[in-house]
Amino acid sequence: MAIHRYYTLTLSEKLLYTSFLLLVGLGYLMATAYLYVTHEMNDNKPGLSVADVANSYYGNRSGTRLEAAIRGPMAGFIEEEDRGTMVAWLKSGAPEKTFEGDIKPILSKTCLNCHVASSGQNLPDFSSYAGLHKYAEVDTGMSMASLLKLSHIHLFGISILLFILGFIFIQSEVNVHFKRFLVVSPMIAVFVDVLAWFLTKWDAHYAVVVIVAGAVLGFSMAAQILISLYQIWLLKAPAHPDLHPPLK
Ligand code: HEC
Protein backbone atom coordinates (compact mmCIF):
# COMPACT_ATOMS: atom_id res chain seq x y z
CA MET A 1 0.00 0.00 0.00
CA ALA A 2 1.32 3.41 -0.89
CA ILE A 3 2.14 5.56 2.08
CA HIS A 4 0.82 9.10 1.90
CA ARG A 5 2.59 12.11 3.14
CA TYR A 6 0.83 14.37 5.55
CA TYR A 7 0.60 17.20 3.05
CA THR A 8 -1.24 15.01 0.57
CA LEU A 9 -3.93 14.16 3.12
CA THR A 10 -7.41 15.58 2.76
CA LEU A 11 -8.75 17.75 5.54
CA SER A 12 -11.04 14.89 6.63
CA GLU A 13 -8.06 12.58 7.02
CA LYS A 14 -6.15 15.22 8.96
CA LEU A 15 -9.09 15.68 11.31
CA LEU A 16 -9.47 11.93 11.76
CA TYR A 17 -5.77 11.49 12.53
CA THR A 18 -5.67 14.49 14.83
CA SER A 19 -8.67 13.54 16.92
CA PHE A 20 -7.37 9.98 17.26
CA LEU A 21 -3.92 11.19 18.34
CA LEU A 22 -5.39 13.57 20.91
CA LEU A 23 -7.63 10.88 22.41
CA VAL A 24 -4.75 8.39 22.61
CA GLY A 25 -2.59 11.04 24.29
CA LEU A 26 -5.36 11.74 26.79
CA GLY A 27 -5.83 8.01 27.37
CA TYR A 28 -2.15 7.69 28.11
CA LEU A 29 -2.29 10.49 30.69
CA MET A 30 -5.36 8.90 32.31
CA ALA A 31 -3.64 5.52 32.47
CA THR A 32 -0.62 7.08 34.16
CA ALA A 33 -2.79 8.94 36.67
CA TYR A 34 -4.75 5.75 37.37
CA LEU A 35 -1.54 3.82 38.03
CA TYR A 36 -0.39 6.55 40.35
CA VAL A 37 -3.50 6.73 42.52
CA THR A 38 -3.93 2.95 42.73
CA HIS A 39 -0.29 2.10 43.43
CA GLU A 40 1.27 5.01 45.31
CA MET A 41 0.16 3.79 48.77
CA ASN A 42 1.17 0.13 48.29
CA ASP A 43 4.21 0.67 50.46
CA ASN A 44 2.30 2.96 52.84
CA LYS A 45 4.30 5.97 51.68
CA PRO A 46 3.01 8.68 49.37
CA GLY A 47 4.55 8.95 45.90
CA LEU A 48 5.15 6.21 43.36
CA SER A 49 8.32 4.17 43.96
CA VAL A 50 9.96 0.90 42.95
CA ALA A 51 8.67 -0.57 46.23
CA ASP A 52 5.06 0.20 45.22
CA VAL A 53 5.48 -1.73 41.99
CA ALA A 54 7.26 -4.59 43.74
CA ASN A 55 4.48 -4.80 46.35
CA SER A 56 1.71 -5.07 43.82
CA TYR A 57 3.24 -8.01 41.90
CA TYR A 58 5.46 -9.69 44.49
CA GLY A 59 3.43 -8.71 47.54
CA ASN A 60 4.81 -7.88 50.94
CA ARG A 61 5.95 -11.29 52.06
CA SER A 62 7.62 -10.19 55.27
CA GLY A 63 4.32 -10.60 57.07
CA THR A 64 0.56 -10.35 57.05
CA ARG A 65 -1.57 -7.22 57.04
CA LEU A 66 -2.84 -8.16 60.49
CA GLU A 67 0.68 -8.30 61.89
CA ALA A 68 1.55 -5.00 60.23
CA ALA A 69 -1.59 -3.48 61.77
CA ILE A 70 -0.97 -4.64 65.35
CA ARG A 71 2.63 -3.49 65.16
CA GLY A 72 1.64 -0.24 63.47
CA PRO A 73 -1.61 1.73 63.42
CA MET A 74 -3.56 -0.69 65.72
CA ALA A 75 -0.73 -1.17 68.24
CA GLY A 76 -2.45 1.00 70.84
CA PHE A 77 -5.44 -1.35 71.04
CA ILE A 78 -3.56 -4.48 72.03
CA GLU A 79 -1.48 -5.53 75.03
CA GLU A 80 2.07 -6.72 74.62
CA GLU A 81 1.29 -10.28 75.67
CA ASP A 82 -1.75 -10.56 73.39
CA ARG A 83 0.30 -9.28 70.50
CA GLY A 84 2.84 -12.04 71.10
CA THR A 85 0.05 -14.64 71.07
CA MET A 86 -1.43 -13.24 67.88
CA VAL A 87 1.91 -13.04 66.05
CA ALA A 88 2.72 -16.64 67.05
CA TRP A 89 -0.69 -17.70 65.73
CA LEU A 90 -0.04 -15.89 62.45
CA LYS A 91 3.42 -17.43 62.11
CA SER A 92 1.92 -20.89 62.58
CA GLY A 93 -0.27 -20.24 59.52
CA ALA A 94 -3.34 -18.75 61.27
CA PRO A 95 -5.13 -22.08 61.78
CA GLU A 96 -8.91 -21.98 62.17
CA LYS A 97 -9.03 -24.53 64.99
CA THR A 98 -7.36 -22.23 67.54
CA PHE A 99 -9.21 -19.09 66.43
CA GLU A 100 -12.17 -19.37 68.81
CA GLY A 101 -10.07 -20.40 71.80
CA ASP A 102 -6.97 -18.18 71.51
CA ILE A 103 -7.65 -15.31 69.16
CA LYS A 104 -11.31 -14.43 69.50
CA PRO A 105 -10.93 -13.49 73.21
CA ILE A 106 -8.12 -11.06 72.31
CA LEU A 107 -10.16 -9.50 69.55
CA SER A 108 -13.15 -9.18 71.87
CA LYS A 109 -11.23 -7.01 74.33
CA THR A 110 -10.97 -3.97 72.10
CA CYS A 111 -10.78 -4.77 68.37
CA LEU A 112 -14.42 -5.77 68.02
CA ASN A 113 -15.56 -2.40 69.31
CA CYS A 114 -14.77 -1.17 65.85
CA HIS A 115 -14.18 -4.23 63.67
CA VAL A 116 -17.71 -5.61 63.39
CA ALA A 117 -20.16 -5.01 60.57
CA SER A 118 -22.63 -3.50 63.05
CA SER A 119 -20.23 -0.70 64.04
CA GLY A 120 -21.36 1.07 60.89
CA GLN A 121 -17.79 2.22 60.19
CA ASN A 122 -17.33 0.00 57.17
CA LEU A 123 -14.19 -1.60 58.61
CA PRO A 124 -13.08 -5.19 58.04
CA ASP A 125 -15.24 -7.46 60.20
CA PHE A 126 -13.14 -9.64 62.54
CA SER A 127 -15.96 -11.29 64.47
CA SER A 128 -15.52 -14.48 62.47
CA TYR A 129 -12.55 -16.45 61.19
CA ALA A 130 -13.64 -15.84 57.61
CA GLY A 131 -13.59 -12.08 58.12
CA LEU A 132 -10.13 -12.07 59.68
CA HIS A 133 -8.64 -14.64 57.33
CA LYS A 134 -7.88 -12.23 54.45
CA TYR A 135 -5.73 -10.13 56.75
CA ALA A 136 -4.03 -13.19 58.20
CA GLU A 137 -2.57 -14.50 54.95
CA VAL A 138 0.88 -13.69 53.68
CA ASP A 139 0.49 -11.15 50.91
CA THR A 140 1.94 -12.68 47.73
CA GLY A 141 0.87 -9.86 45.46
CA MET A 142 -1.31 -10.13 42.39
CA SER A 143 -2.74 -13.57 41.73
CA MET A 144 -1.63 -15.55 38.69
CA ALA A 145 -5.19 -15.33 37.30
CA SER A 146 -5.25 -11.52 37.56
CA LEU A 147 -1.81 -11.33 35.97
CA LEU A 148 -2.87 -13.46 33.02
CA LYS A 149 -6.04 -11.42 32.59
CA LEU A 150 -4.17 -8.13 32.72
CA SER A 151 -1.51 -9.47 30.33
CA HIS A 152 -3.77 -10.55 27.52
CA ILE A 153 -5.84 -7.37 27.74
CA HIS A 154 -2.64 -5.32 27.55
CA LEU A 155 -1.08 -7.30 24.73
CA PHE A 156 -4.18 -7.24 22.51
CA GLY A 157 -5.23 -3.70 23.36
CA ILE A 158 -1.90 -1.90 23.27
CA SER A 159 -0.62 -3.68 20.17
CA ILE A 160 -3.66 -2.55 18.17
CA LEU A 161 -3.29 0.94 19.54
CA LEU A 162 0.42 1.02 18.67
CA PHE A 163 -0.27 -0.34 15.21
CA ILE A 164 -2.69 2.47 14.36
CA LEU A 165 -0.48 5.06 16.00
CA GLY A 166 2.57 3.75 14.12
CA PHE A 167 0.65 3.70 10.87
CA ILE A 168 -0.06 7.41 11.21
CA PHE A 169 3.46 8.18 12.39
CA ILE A 170 5.31 6.45 9.51
CA GLN A 171 3.90 9.10 7.20
CA SER A 172 6.03 11.71 8.93
CA GLU A 173 9.40 12.90 7.71
CA VAL A 174 12.10 12.15 10.27
CA ASN A 175 15.43 10.37 10.19
CA VAL A 176 14.62 6.89 8.99
CA HIS A 177 16.53 5.12 11.77
CA PHE A 178 14.79 7.20 14.39
CA LYS A 179 11.48 6.39 12.73
CA ARG A 180 12.14 2.67 12.81
CA PHE A 181 13.24 2.90 16.41
CA LEU A 182 10.09 4.76 17.44
CA VAL A 183 7.84 2.26 15.67
CA VAL A 184 9.44 -0.86 17.13
CA SER A 185 10.51 0.25 20.63
CA PRO A 186 7.03 0.60 22.16
CA MET A 187 6.08 -2.87 20.91
CA ILE A 188 9.18 -4.33 22.53
CA ALA A 189 8.53 -2.26 25.66
CA VAL A 190 5.01 -3.70 26.03
CA PHE A 191 6.38 -7.21 25.68
CA VAL A 192 9.16 -6.60 28.21
CA ASP A 193 6.72 -4.85 30.57
CA VAL A 194 4.32 -7.80 30.64
CA LEU A 195 7.19 -10.28 30.97
CA ALA A 196 8.58 -8.24 33.86
CA TRP A 197 5.25 -8.45 35.75
CA PHE A 198 5.66 -12.20 35.89
CA LEU A 199 9.33 -11.92 36.79
CA THR A 200 8.46 -9.43 39.55
CA LYS A 201 5.92 -11.82 41.01
CA TRP A 202 8.80 -14.28 41.26
CA ASP A 203 11.53 -11.83 42.36
CA ALA A 204 10.78 -8.27 43.51
CA HIS A 205 13.98 -6.87 41.95
CA TYR A 206 12.40 -6.96 38.50
CA ALA A 207 10.11 -4.08 39.51
CA VAL A 208 12.80 -1.80 38.04
CA VAL A 209 12.34 -3.44 34.63
CA VAL A 210 8.57 -2.81 34.82
CA ILE A 211 9.26 0.87 35.38
CA VAL A 212 11.92 1.23 32.68
CA ALA A 213 9.74 -0.55 30.08
CA GLY A 214 6.81 1.69 31.03
CA ALA A 215 9.01 4.75 30.57
CA VAL A 216 10.20 3.61 27.11
CA LEU A 217 6.59 2.98 26.07
CA GLY A 218 5.56 6.42 27.31
CA PHE A 219 8.45 8.15 25.57
CA SER A 220 7.88 6.44 22.22
CA MET A 221 4.16 7.05 22.24
CA ALA A 222 4.57 10.70 23.21
CA ALA A 223 7.18 11.22 20.47
CA GLN A 224 5.01 9.58 17.81
CA ILE A 225 1.97 11.62 18.82
CA LEU A 226 3.74 14.97 19.06
CA ILE A 227 5.77 14.60 15.86
CA SER A 228 2.69 13.48 13.93
CA LEU A 229 0.49 16.29 15.23
CA TYR A 230 3.15 18.86 14.44
CA GLN A 231 3.80 17.64 10.91
CA ILE A 232 0.15 16.99 10.00
CA TRP A 233 -0.59 20.67 10.40
CA LEU A 234 2.70 22.45 9.84
CA LEU A 235 4.80 20.48 7.36
CA LYS A 236 4.63 22.24 4.01
CA ALA A 237 4.57 20.46 0.68
CA PRO A 238 7.84 20.94 -1.27
CA ALA A 239 7.75 23.49 -4.07
CA HIS A 240 8.39 20.77 -6.62
CA PRO A 241 7.10 17.32 -5.47
CA ASP A 242 9.29 15.37 -7.92
CA LEU A 243 12.40 16.58 -6.16
CA HIS A 244 11.29 14.84 -3.01
CA PRO A 245 12.83 11.38 -2.41
CA PRO A 246 10.36 8.56 -1.75
CA LEU A 247 9.36 8.12 1.87
CA LYS A 248 11.16 5.35 3.75
C1 HEC B 1 -11.26 2.64 67.69
C2 HEC B 1 -11.56 1.77 66.59
C3 HEC B 1 -10.60 0.63 66.29
C4 HEC B 1 -10.13 -0.34 67.13
C5 HEC B 1 -10.45 -0.51 68.63
C6 HEC B 1 -9.30 -1.21 66.34
N7 HEC B 1 -9.25 -0.77 65.03
FE8 HEC B 1 -8.32 -1.70 63.50
N9 HEC B 1 -8.89 -0.22 62.25
C10 HEC B 1 -9.63 0.89 62.62
C11 HEC B 1 -9.75 1.78 61.48
C12 HEC B 1 -10.46 3.13 61.48
C13 HEC B 1 -9.06 1.15 60.42
C14 HEC B 1 -8.92 1.66 58.98
C15 HEC B 1 -7.93 2.76 58.89
C16 HEC B 1 -6.54 2.26 58.83
O17 HEC B 1 -6.25 1.33 58.06
O18 HEC B 1 -5.69 2.83 59.55
C19 HEC B 1 -8.55 -0.09 60.93
C20 HEC B 1 -7.82 -1.01 60.17
C21 HEC B 1 -7.40 -2.23 60.63
C22 HEC B 1 -6.78 -3.24 59.81
C23 HEC B 1 -6.58 -3.18 58.31
C24 HEC B 1 -5.23 -2.66 57.95
C25 HEC B 1 -5.00 -2.80 56.45
O26 HEC B 1 -3.98 -3.38 56.11
O27 HEC B 1 -5.85 -2.34 55.69
C28 HEC B 1 -6.48 -4.28 60.62
C29 HEC B 1 -5.82 -5.58 60.22
C30 HEC B 1 -6.88 -3.90 61.95
N31 HEC B 1 -7.43 -2.65 61.91
C32 HEC B 1 -6.72 -4.70 63.08
C33 HEC B 1 -7.12 -4.34 64.34
C34 HEC B 1 -6.89 -5.17 65.51
C35 HEC B 1 -6.23 -6.51 65.51
C36 HEC B 1 -7.43 -4.48 66.57
C37 HEC B 1 -7.43 -4.86 68.04
C38 HEC B 1 -6.13 -5.12 68.60
C39 HEC B 1 -7.99 -3.25 66.07
N40 HEC B 1 -7.77 -3.20 64.71
C41 HEC B 1 -8.65 -2.32 66.84
C42 HEC B 1 -10.21 1.12 63.86
C43 HEC B 1 -10.01 0.36 64.97
> Over 70: is that where the pLDDT of 114 sits?
yes
- Between 134-143, 150-159, 208-217, the lowest mean confidence (pLDDT) is in 134-143
pLDDT at 76: 92
CB atoms within 10 A of CB 175: 10
* CA dist., res. 206 & res. 198, Å (int): 9
pLDDT at 104: 94
Judge whether 209 and 202 are in contact, CB under 8 Å: no
Residue type, 20: F
| Cα-to-centroid distance, 115 and ligand 1 (Å) | 7
- Residue range 40-57: average pLDDT? 80
- Residue range 95-121: average pLDDT? 91
Output the furthest CA–CA distance in the chain (Å, rounded).
90
CB atoms within 10 A of CB 31: 13
Residues 55-75: tens digit of each pLDDT = 888 887 777 889 888 988 899
Judge whether 5 and 17 are in contact, CB under 8 Å: no
User: In whole angstroms, how far apart are CA 38 and each of 42, 64, 133?
Assistant: 8, 20, 23
> Ligand 1 pocket check: which of 99, 114, 135 to mutate, most ligand atoms within 8 Å of Cβ?
114
Residue 87 beta carbon below 6 angstroms from any ligand 1 atom? no
- Between 39-53, 186-200, 209-223, 225-239, the lowest mean confidence (pLDDT) is in 39-53
| Cα-to-centroid distance, 197 and ligand 1 (Å) | 31
| Cα-to-centroid distance, 121 and ligand 1 (Å) | 11
Contacts of 7 (CB under 8 A, 6+ apart): 235, 236, 237
